[in-house]
């Protein structure tokens, strides 16, 4: 009979153990209802069963239900109480955990250590420290948890004192101290602990190597890395990150090639590293070879395309990311917004805006600023202002975004009005604010207002003028025809004039045909930026206008001798989320070139009837008038406008972007195109926006 009882009890215990394991399994899978069903259907429950189901509810973030079950337990042991404290801590309910801890009928070292760990995890190191010193008994885990808290709080000297008091220093404690010292840049002290360790594991080695890496001691890290008895994925990745973070891409590449296992983190680091050095193909090769990709991988590759001016590829990859159902997160959305702004891709920009709304990122002030910039650069100023107006607490960055936007659209009065509104609300303008305001004055010929604001920058707003502000003032005076005054301002500048300043002067000289100062400005620019084609092109235009073809050819020879190449003029337009590129003179480059040419011919007839006379001065070749007219007809902005007339619905404005400044002939032609077709055309060039409507331009021909 006794043997039978033992067998039955053993069978019952085994059954209960199986049920308890099943409860724990369902809890890990997040199937709390199934776990509860198993518990409710158990023929017999023991204290382990109750502990399991209470822990299951805590594990599934249902602390209220866990507490109800705890209170119903027919009996509790120390494990039950410790599990209740631990469960509350895991659910971030530190106050409830402490109440339970204080009411426990008995405590052991696990109870005390759990509570101390809870305070440390929440950053409440003083509370953890107070409780730690009250502990009647401490084990090596207790000491190590408290040590980690002090290191986390950057109290490295207190951590050092505690470390010295520890009766037993295990490998974890020593490794923590190494990491703490490295975090503070105290590498010699870290190395002393490392060298004194009776035994080391791969974590200890990796922590010391990472410490050297974090403190830019990459060569020392590499020496230590080479003598490691064994290396794991983390060790290799730490060493690789050392090279990428300090820009030593060649050494990073060589190490990456011999890595036995290329972790996702390592691949992501190399994608960005190659991208930063302009080796986009290598970045993409790694991306394509990766079997496993995470969000950071996709974000990194999009960022590489964005940073290297490959906006179309960035948009293609973003579309692929969506097709693969990769979670869209903050970095990827911000990168794509920047791409949309660069390309003026309004349809894609609106799509990303919707994603931001769905992800609840739109309440972020930085996101709002990027959205404003995107809508501004896409030529939709109304939508930019709507985003601005709907946002509550605006910071100076957001104000700067809308001020710069209005300035770029040539709305001087509105820009000044927003600036004064900003100041009236008690917000202090910064140097970026004044660049926007002074640019607006420059674009709209507000010389007196610009001079007044420039004078008050330092005395009233305590903002020291930088070269960018002087460049705005040179541009302001130069556009208004006061080129000599602009030159005098350059001579009086307290800092050396840079390429932006001299470029502003050269642009003014071209507008007002001041040949003597133009040659001075061009010479300065050639010294400052010998690889830039800008000064050569502007000066060539001036010589061509005067018929000085010998000087034009001399400049061209000089460019060839210096290997300076001119960036080809290109324009683009977005139609149905596809960006169509056009290059100046290449009337055959688009797959629909035949219908574009027919549209240009029809426009040519309409323009001549409206009194259009092509301005051959914008052709830099010594050719006859017929050839000049032919050349002007195929400027990239005209090709893009023609395509827009064919494809963009009549109710919508045609939005065209150009990488260079729009030429004078195209400006005149597009004004007339807007008039004879009854369409609104928005052109963004390298400097600003031009809104063409009813034969007029928003710049009032002051550009």
More confident residue, 309 or 487: 487
CB 687 within 8 A of CB 703: yes
CA distance linking residue 235 with residue 53, whole number of Å: 40
Q: What are phi and psi of 495, to 5 degrees?
A: -120, 160
User: Per residue in 370-389, pLDDT tens?
Assistant: 899 899 988 888 999 999 98
CA distance linking residue 509 with residue 483, whole number of Å: 7
- At 439, the pLDDT band (50, 70, 90 cuts) reads very high
User: Per residue in 576-613, pLDDT tens?
Assistant: 878 898 987 666 778 898 999 899 889 888 888 888 77
CA distance linking residue 241 with residue 209, whole number of Å: 11
- At 11, the pLDDT band (50, 70, 90 cuts) reads very low
Q: What is the pLDDT of residue 273?
A: 93
- At 6, the pLDDT band (50, 70, 90 cuts) reads very low
- At 390, the pLDDT band (50, 70, 90 cuts) reads confident
Residue in the block written with tokens 């990311």: 321
CA distance linking residue 628 with residue 640, whole number of Å: 20
Residue in the block written with tokens 């309004």: 346
CA distance linking residue 161 with residue 665, whole number of Å: 78
DSSP-derived pairing of the beta strands 689-693 and 696-697: antiparallel
Instruction: Kindly list the structural domains of the chain, giving each domain's residue range(s) and its CATH number in brackets, ordered by start.
Output: 390-562 (1.25.40.10), 570-697 (no CATH)
Is 90 exceeded by the pLDDT of residue 699?
Answer: no
More confident residue, 115 or 661: 115
CB 128 within 8 A of CB 119: yes
Q: What is the pLDDT of residue 649?
A: 92
Q: What is the pLDDT of residue 664?
A: 79
Q: What is the pLDDT of residue 542?
A: 82
DSSP-derived pairing of the beta strands 570-575 and 654-658: antiparallel
CA distance linking residue 434 with residue 469, whole number of Å: 7
Q: What is the pLDDT of residue 703?
A: 63
Q: What is the pLDDT of residue 587?
A: 63
Mean pLDDT over 178-197 rounds to: 90
Is 80 exceeded by the pLDDT of residue 564?
Answer: no
User: Per residue in 123-177, pLDDT tens?
Assistant: 898 998 888 899 898 898 988 999 989 998 899 898 899 888 888 888 898 999 8
- At 496, the pLDDT band (50, 70, 90 cuts) reads confident
Q: What is the pLDDT of residue 645?
A: 94
Q: What is the pLDDT of residue 311?
A: 85
Q: What is the pLDDT of residue 543?
A: 83
Q: What is the pLDDT of residue 591?
A: 87
User: Per residue in 616-637, pLDDT tens?
Assistant: 454 444 434 444 444 556 788 9
pTM, entire model: 0.68
Q: Is 200 left (phi over 0), alpha (psi -120 to 50) or beta?
A: beta
Mean pLDDT over 474-501 rounds to: 90
State the alpha helices, DSSP H only, in 215-248. Answer: 218-226, 233-245
User: Per residue in 510-536, pLDDT tens?
Assistant: 888 888 888 888 888 888 888 888 788
Lowest mean pLDDT among 319-328, 335-344, 389-398, 628-637: 628-637
| Average pLDDT along the chain | 85
Q: What percent of the chain is predicted at pLDDT more than 70?
A: 94
Q: What are phi and psi of 639, to 5 degrees?
A: -60, -45
Distance of CA 93 to the CA centre of its chain: 35
Q: Which of 174-188, 324-338, 350-364 has the highest mean pLDDT?
A: 174-188
Mean pLDDT over 229-240 rounds to: 89
The angle subtended at Cα 409 by Cα 403 and Cα 415, nearest 5°, is 35
In this structure, what token pair is assigned to residue 412?
């001087």
User: Per residue in 550-563, pLDDT tens?
Assistant: 888 888 888 888 88
């Amino acid at each position: 009979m006794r043997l039978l009882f033992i067998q039955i009890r053993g069978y019952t215990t085994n059954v209960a153990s199986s049920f308890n394991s099943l409860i724990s399994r369902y809890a890990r899978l997040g199937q709390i209802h199934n776990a509860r069903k198993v518990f409710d259907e158990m023929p017999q429950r023991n204290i382990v069963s109750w502990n399991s189901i209470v822990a299951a509810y805590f594990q599934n973030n249902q602390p209220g239900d866990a507490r109800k079950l705890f209170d119903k337990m027919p009996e509790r042991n120390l494990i039950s109480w410790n599990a209740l404290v631990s469960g509350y801590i895991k659910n971030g309910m530190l106050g409830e955990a402490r109440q339970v801890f204080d009411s426990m009928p008995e405590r052991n070292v696990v109870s005390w250590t759990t509570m101390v760990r809870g305070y440390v995890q929440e950053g409440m190191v003083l509370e953890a420290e107070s409780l730690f010193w009250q502990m009647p008994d401490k084990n090596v885990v207790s000491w190590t948890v408290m040590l980690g808290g002090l290191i986390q709080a950057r109290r490295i000297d207190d951590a050092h004192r505690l470390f010295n008091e520890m009766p037993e220093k295990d490998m974890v404690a020593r490794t923590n101290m190494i990491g703490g010292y490295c975090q503070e840049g105290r590498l010699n002290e870290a190395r002393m602990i490392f060298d004194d360790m009776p035994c080391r594991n791969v974590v200890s080695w990796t922590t010391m190597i990472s410490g050297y890496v974090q403190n830019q001691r990459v060569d020392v890290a590499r020496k230590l890395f080479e003598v490691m008895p064994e290396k794991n994925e983390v060790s290799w990745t730490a060493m690789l990150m050392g090279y990428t973070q300090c820009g030593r891409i060649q050494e990073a590449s060589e190490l990456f090639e011999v890595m036995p296992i290329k972790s996702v983190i390592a691949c992501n680091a190399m994608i960005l590293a190659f991208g930063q050095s302009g080796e986009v193909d290598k970045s993409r090769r790694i991306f394509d070879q990766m079997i496993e990709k995470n969000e950071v991988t996709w974000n990194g590759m999009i960022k590489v395309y964005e940073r290297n001016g490959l906006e179309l590829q960035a948009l293609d990859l973003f579309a692929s990311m969506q097709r693969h159902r990769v979670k869209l997160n903050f970095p990827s959305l911000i990168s794509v917004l920047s791409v949309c702004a660069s390309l003026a891709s309004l349809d894609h920009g609106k799509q990303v805006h919707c994603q931001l709304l769905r992800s609840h990122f739109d309440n972020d002030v930085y996101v709002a600023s990027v959205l404003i910039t995107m809508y501004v650069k896409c030529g939709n100023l109304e939508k930019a202002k709507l985003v601005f107006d709907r946002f509550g607490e605006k910071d100076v960055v957001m104000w700067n975004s809308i001020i710069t936007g209005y300035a770029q659209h040539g709305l001087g009065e509105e820009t000044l009005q927003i600036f004064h509104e900003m100041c009236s609300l008690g917000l202090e303008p910064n140097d970026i604010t004044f660049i926007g305001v002074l640019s607006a004055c420059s674009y709209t010929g507000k010389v007196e207002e610009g001079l007044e604001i420039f004078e008050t920058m330092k005395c009233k707003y305590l903002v020291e003028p930088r070269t960018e502000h002087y460049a705005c003032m040179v541009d302001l005076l130069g556009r208004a025809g006061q080129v000599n005054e602009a030159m005098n301002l350059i001579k009086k500048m307290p800092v050396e004039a840079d390429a932006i300043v001299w470029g502003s002067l050269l642009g003014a000289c071209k507008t007002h045909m001041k040949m003597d100062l133009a040659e001075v400005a061009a010479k300065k620019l050639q010294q400052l930026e010998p690889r830039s084609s800008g000064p050569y092109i502007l000066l060539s235009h001036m010589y061509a206008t005067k018929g000085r073809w010998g000087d034009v050819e001399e400049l061209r020879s000089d460019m060839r001798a210096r290997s300076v190449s001119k960036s080809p003029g290109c324009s683009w337009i977005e139609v149905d989320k596809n960006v169509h590129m056009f290059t100046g003179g290449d009337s055959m480059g688009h797959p629909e070139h035949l219908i574009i040419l027919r549209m240009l011919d029809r426009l040519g007839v309409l323009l001549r009837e409206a009194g259009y006379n092509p301005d051959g001065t914008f052709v830099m070749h010594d050719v006859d008038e017929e050839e000049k007219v032919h050349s002007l007809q195929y400027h990239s902005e005209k090709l893009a406008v023609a395509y827009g007339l064919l494809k963009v619905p009549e109710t919508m404005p045609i939005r065209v972007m150009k990488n260079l400044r729009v030429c004078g002939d195209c400006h005149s032609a597009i004004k007339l195109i807007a008039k004879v077709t009854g369409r609104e055309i928005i052109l963004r060039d390298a400097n600003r926006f031009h809104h063409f409507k009813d034969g007029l331009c928003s710049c009032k021909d002051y550009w």
